[in-house]
């Protein structure tokens, strides 16, 4: 495959684009960073405000040496994000009959859709249910659900009544769910009976029960658990969805959902008599909207907090410009709502623009390897957003399955989650998009709330593998180890110099951790934790994490959390986990374990360890390799040199400077015990 160095935006894309040239991008960008109050003020005017936000919109301190870190956008402005993404579209823009979501189930036979007006009714009913269960403004509600329309309903219902949602990805374990419920002090959990992931049944309610039991053991009692009947839906008539595929029938036949009558309530029983009208709770722009947990390098996940106003205007604006959204688009983001991408670019951003989206419950290659292309043709998807890991997976099956489908509706292709290797970028561009569709490689984080480095499809000349330039309002810099800003071509720490509206506001319940994690290393800057290179043309290239984090299939995990799961096994004295390259997942986990005296390293043990990690964290954290490490390479101060372990995993004998190692004799044995790598 020939590899172009640069890819200019196709003229037909630029022609109708909101931002149709680099000059226009530059002009708006300059204004956005020089006059943030005016720039975002105009954007805020497009939304509904009970009380318009007073000027200046932005107040902040980014410098720990000058006092406490704080960021406020539009404080004093009063609004409701649910009202803005639903009622405003219906009443002001007359989009009531427009489809908000096409829902496509795990099985191709399962699908349904919901219009804006229908969605609003569902949300209002459920918001009234939450209120009748005693949920009020500021209360935290945990949501642990599969990819169904009711997941969106649950989150928007929380937003409507000013409750703070904390969504936990349905692939997380009972232990992880329990930890998140405890940390956020949730009083209510919303879940579902279960769902199918491919042909595998996930009994979600059972996992939720285990999590709540673990909470009880820690003396924390969740009073209410609302359960959506998803698997046995055809028995339920009140919410209008009709699932008829065989696997659902299969579960109906088995049919038992464990039940605690003093705590559990069926969703369909509750919404049956609830009113479809619900006055929103009017919120300050700086009221908390949601908590979303992301891995932290100490092992304990951080509850990233986003607030109503800034998040609303930033996700809406990035969605509009980065996907060059127009009213007739059909947009499909394949991310799960349990991650930030699903919050910002499946729910809030698209809905704020009145967009029609596909909400897909299933897997990329189930029931067959063409599923994605079938869905694109079925709904005439024009804007498609997925992760490099999915692209690499589909690439494995060659061009034929792609080419068997038309894909003529496609206009823009997006990617997110990890650095995309140029080979995958080019395949996406040449094969999937037939060179017609600009690729937007969007760099951002749970913490940034929305895109921060990204091309704009009608304006940016792209380079395969580069996230190109900053979005409006974002001011990146590259620092060296001593915190000096580097100009021109450079490589170092990626930081941001001033807040954009959707930057996180704090770590839930732990302001100290917020300040130390993001602001302490380089006072005056927000530190992303990513390494970055700027080339001679000013393009930014993310080089990967520089902390002890790994990125598996676009999901961040900390080495510490996997290590602490491993050492819970009675045979394991010590563990060290490093990232190892993986052809599909991008990175995978390579674990070194030191056993306690008298314990033997066996296949049975490694199997047990894999299960243990899955149970503690979830399937995404399953180790790919576990090797016996009678000794670990440590510095004299006792710090494990993971850099050396990464080299050992790769069988790279060029270990660099190991003069600070306390005992170099461990190295030989580690090379001897290496795992066989399977690609
Ligand atoms: C980390 C954030 C943002 C939603 C999904 C992940 C990596 C993300 C890119 C990209 C290179 C990327 C970074 C970042 N990352 N997008 N386009 N190019 N790296 O959210 O779990 O908070 O992870 O993902 O390392 O810091 P997250």
What does the pLDDT read at residue 66?
Answer: 97
Q: pLDDT class for 3, splitting at 50, 70, 90?
A: low
- Is the per-residue pLDDT at 239 higher than 60? no
Which pLDDT band holds residue 560 (cuts at 50, 70, 90)?
A: confident
Report the separation in Å between the CA atom of 277 and the middle of ligand 1, taken as the mean of its atom positions: 39
Confidence of residue 34 (pLDDT cuts 50, 70, 90): very high
Q: Which residue has the higher pLDDT, 677 or 648?
A: 648
State the average pLDDT over residues 605-614: 97
More confident call, 150 vs 234: 150
387 lines ligand 1 (CB under 6 A): no
Q: How far is CA 549 from the centre of its chain?
A: 15
The pLDDT > 90 percentage for the chain reads 86
Does 444 sit in the ligand 1 pocket, CB within 6 Å?
A: yes
* Residue 255 banded pLDDT, cuts 50, 70, 90: low
- Cα gap 433→532, rounded to integer Å: 27
> CB of 340 closer than 6 A to ligand 1?
yes
Residue whose CA is at the smallest distance from ligand 1 atom 17: 443
Per residue in 351-388, pLDDT (tens digit) is 999 999 999 999 999 999 999 999 999 999 999 999 99
Question: How many other C-beta atoms can be found within 10 angstroms of the C-beta atom of residue 667?
Answer: 18
What is the rounded distance in angstroms from the CA atom of residue 656 to the CA atom of residue 675? 22
Is 54 a member of any domain?
Answer: no
260-274, 287-301, 315-329, 577-591: least confident range? 287-301
- Does the beta carbon of 388 sit less than 6 angstroms from any atom of ligand 1? no
Nearest CA to ligand 1 atom 13: 418
pLDDT above 50: residue 35: yes
- Cα of 554 vs centre of ligand 1, distance in Å, is 7
**651 domain-assigned:** yes
Is residue 598 domain-resident?
A: yes
DSSP string, 376-403: HHHHT--EEEE-HHHHHHHHTT-SHHHH
Identify the pLDDT of residue 249. 43
Q: Residue 248: its pLDDT value, please?
A: 45
Q: Closest Cα to atom 1, ligand 1: which residue?
A: 445
Q: Distance (Å, rounded) from C-alpha 646 to C-alpha 638?
A: 18
Average pLDDT over residues 552-558: 89
**What is the C-alpha separation between 40 and 52, in angstroms, rounded?**
13
Q: Is the CB–ligand 1 distance for residue 542 below 6 Å?
A: yes
Structure letter (DSSP) for residue 356: E
Q: How buried is residue 365: exposed, middle or buried, by Cβ count under 10 Å (0-12/13-18/19+)?
A: middle
Nearest atom in ligand 1 to the alpha carbon of residue 419 is 11
Tokens 């998009």 correspond to 433
CATH number of the domain to which 640 belongs: 3.30.300.30
What is the mean pLDDT of the segment spanning 1-18?
85
Ligand 1 contacts CB of residue 528 (under 6 A) = yes
Query: CA–CA separation, 136 vs 471, rounded Å?
Result: 36
Q: What is the whole-number distance in angstroms between the Cα of residue 441 and the centre of ligand 1? A: 11
- Residue 416, ligand 1, Cβ within 6 A: yes
| 274 pLDDT above the threshold of 70 | yes
Q: Residue of the nearest CA to atom 2 in ligand 1?
A: 445
Residue 445 Cβ contacting ligand 1 at under 6 Å: yes
Please give the pLDDT value at position 237. 37
Number of structural domains the chain divides into: 1
Residue 444 CA to ligand 1 center (angstroms) comes to 5
Mean pLDDT of the chain: 93
Shortest-distance Cα residue to atom 19 of ligand 1: 418
The protein residue whose alpha carbon is closest to atom 20 in ligand 1 is 445
User: For a pLDDT cut of 70, what percent of the chain falls above it?
Assistant: 96
Q: Would you list the DSSP string of 21-47?
A: SHHHHHHHHHHHHH-HHHHHHHHHTTS
Question: In the predicted model, what is the mean pLDDT of residues 648-674?
Answer: 90
Closest alpha carbon to 282 in 119, 47, 51: 51
**pLDDT tens for each residue of 618-636:** 999 999 999 999 999 987 7
- The span from the CA of 452 to the CA of 443, in Å, is 6
Q: Can you tell me which atom of ligand 1 is nearest the CA of 443?
A: 17
d(CA 343, ligand 1 centre) in Å = 14
Cβ atoms of residues 109 and 318 within 8 Å: no
Per-residue pLDDT, averaged over 526-543, amounts to 96
**Residue 573: what pLDDT?**
87
Distance (Å, whole) CA 633 – CA 665: 9
- The mean pLDDT value for 321-325 works out to 98
Task: Give the distance (Å) from ligand 1 centre to CA of residue 260.
Answer: 39
- Ligand 1 pocket: which of 556, 557, 558 to mutate (most atoms within 8 A of CB): 556
**Is the residue at 637 inside a domain?**
yes
Nearest protein CA to atom 3 of ligand 1, as residue: 445
Distance, CA 302 to ligand 1 centroid (Å)?
Answer: 16
Q: Domain of 572?
A: 553-676
- CA 467 – ligand 1 centroid, Å: 11
Distance between the two ends of the chain, CA-based, in angstroms?
Answer: 22
CA distances from residue 33 to 39, 41, 473 in whole angstroms, order as listed: 8, 13, 5
Q: Return the ligand 1 atom nearest residue 341 CA.
A: 4
CB neighbours of residue 645 within 10 Å = 24
CB 314 within 8 A of CB 474: no
Do 151 and 143 touch, CB atoms closer than 8 A? yes
467 lines ligand 1 (CB under 6 A): yes
Specify the pLDDT at position 459.
98
Q: Give me the pLDDT at residue 241, please.
A: 45
E strands, 153-211, are: 164-167, 188-192, 195-197, 200-202
Strand pairing class (625-628; 586-595): parallel
Which residue owns the Cα nearest ligand 1 atom 10? 443
Binding site membership of 393 for ligand 1 (Cβ less than 6 Å): no
At residue 235, the pLDDT reads 55
d(CA 461, CA 119): 38
Query: Tokens at residue 80, please?
Result: 């409701």
In a domain, residue 188? The reply is no
> Considering the domain boundaries, does residue 407 fall inside one?
no
Is 617 part of a structural domain of the chain?
yes
Going from the Cα of 235 to the center of ligand 1, the distance in angstroms, rounded, reads 41
Q: For residue 39, is it within any domain?
A: no
Specify the residue with its C-alpha closest to ligand 1, atom 11. 419
C-alpha closest to that of 378 among 355, 358, 351, 348: 358
Using the atom order of ligand 1, give the atom closest to the CA of residue 528: 26
What's the whole-number mean pLDDT along residues 525-547?
A: 94
Scored b (16 or more CB within 10 A) or e, 233-271 reads: beebeebebebeeebbeebbeeeebeeeeeebbbbbebb
Going from the Cα of 341 to the center of ligand 1, the distance in angstroms, rounded, reads 10
What pLDDT, on the 0 to 100 scale, is given for residue 277?
Answer: 98
Whole-angstrom distance, CA of residue 252 vs CA of residue 264: 19
The CB of 446 under 6 Å from ligand 1? The reply is yes
Ligand 1 and 443: CB distance under 6 A: yes
């Amino acid at each position: 495959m020939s590899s172009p160095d640069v890819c200019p935006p196709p003229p037909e894309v630029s022609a109708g684009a909101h931002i149709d040239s680099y000059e226009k991008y530059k002009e708006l960008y300059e204004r956005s960073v020089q006059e943030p109050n005016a720039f975002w003020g105009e954007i805020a005017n497009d939304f509904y405000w009970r009380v318009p936000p007073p000027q200046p919109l932005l107040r902040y301190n980014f410098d720990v040496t000058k006092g406490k870190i704080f960021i406020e956008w539009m404080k004093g402005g009063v609004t409701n994000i649910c009202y803005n993404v639903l009622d405003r579209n219906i009443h002001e823009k007359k989009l009531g009959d427009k489809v908000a979501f096409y829902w496509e189930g795990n099985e191709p036979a399962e699908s349904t859709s919901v219009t804006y007006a229908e969605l609003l009714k569902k949300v209002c009913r459920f918001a009234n249910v939450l209120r009748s269960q005693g949920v009020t403004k500021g209360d935290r509600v945990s949501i642990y659900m599969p990819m169904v329309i009711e997941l969106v309903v649950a989150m928007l219902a929380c937003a409507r009544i000013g409750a703070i949602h904390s969504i936990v990805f349905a692939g997380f374990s009972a232990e992880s769910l329990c930890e998140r419920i405890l940390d956020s002090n949730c009083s209510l959990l919303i879940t579902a009976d279960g769902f199918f992931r491919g042909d595998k049944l996930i009994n979600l309610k059972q996992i939720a029960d285990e999590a709540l039991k673990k909470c009880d053991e820690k003396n924390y009692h969740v009073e209410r658990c609302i359960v959506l009947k998803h698997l046995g839906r055809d028995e339920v008539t009140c919410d209008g969805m009709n699932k008829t595929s065989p696997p659902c029938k299969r579960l109906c036949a088995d049919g038992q959902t464990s039940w605690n009558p003093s705590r559990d309530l069926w969703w369909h029983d509750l919404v049956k008599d609830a009113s479809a009208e619900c006055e929103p709770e009017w919120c300050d722009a700086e009221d908390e909207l949601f908590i979303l947990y992301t891995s932290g390098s100490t092992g304990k996940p951080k509850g990233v907090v986003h607030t109503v106003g800034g998040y609303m205007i930033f996700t809406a604006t990035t969605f509009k410009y980065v996907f060059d959204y127009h009213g007739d688009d059909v947009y499909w983001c394949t991310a799960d709502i349990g991650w930030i991408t699903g919050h910002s670019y499946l729910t809030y951003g698209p809905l704020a623009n009145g967009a029609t989206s596909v909400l897909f419950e299933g897997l990329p290659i189930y029931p067959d390897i063409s599923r994605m292309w079938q869905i694109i043709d079925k709904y005439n998807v024009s804007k498609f957003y997925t992760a490099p890991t999915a692209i690499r997976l589909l690439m494995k099956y060659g061009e034929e399955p792609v080419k068997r489908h038309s894909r003529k509706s496609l206009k823009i292709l997006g990617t997110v989650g990890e650095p995309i290797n140029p080979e995958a970028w080019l395949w996406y561009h040449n094969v999937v998009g037939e060179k017609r569709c600009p690729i937007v490689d969007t760099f951002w984080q749970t913490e940034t709330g929305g895109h921060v480095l990204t091309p704009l499809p009608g304006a940016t000349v792209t380079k395969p593998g580069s996230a190109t330039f900053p979005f409006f309002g974002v001011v990146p810099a590259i620092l060296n180890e001593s915190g000096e800003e580097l100009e021109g071509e450079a490589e170092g720490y990626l930081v941001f110099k001033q807040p954009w509206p959707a930057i996180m506001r704090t770590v839930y319940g732990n302001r100290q951790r917020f300040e130390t994690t993001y602001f302490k290393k380089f006072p005056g800057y927000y530190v992303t934790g990513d390494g970055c290179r700027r080339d001679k043309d000013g393009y930014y290239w993310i080089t990967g994490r520089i902390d002890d984090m790994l990125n598996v299939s676009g999901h961040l995990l900390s080495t510490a959390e996997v290590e602490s799961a491993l050492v819970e096994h009675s045979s394991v004295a010590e563990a060290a986990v490093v990232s190892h390259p993986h052809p599909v997942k991008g990175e995978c986990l390579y674990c070194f374990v030191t056993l306690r005296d008298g314990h033997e390293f066996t296949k049975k043990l490694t199997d047990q360890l894999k299960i243990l990690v899955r149970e503690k964290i979830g399937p995404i954290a399953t180790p790919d390799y576990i090797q016996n490490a009678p000794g670990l390479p440590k510095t004299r101060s006792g710090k494990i040199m993971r850099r050396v372990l990464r080299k050992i995993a790769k069988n790279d004998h060029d270990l660099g400077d190991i003069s600070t190692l306390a005992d170099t004799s461990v190295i030989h044995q580690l090379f001897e015990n290496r795992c066989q790598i399977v690609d």
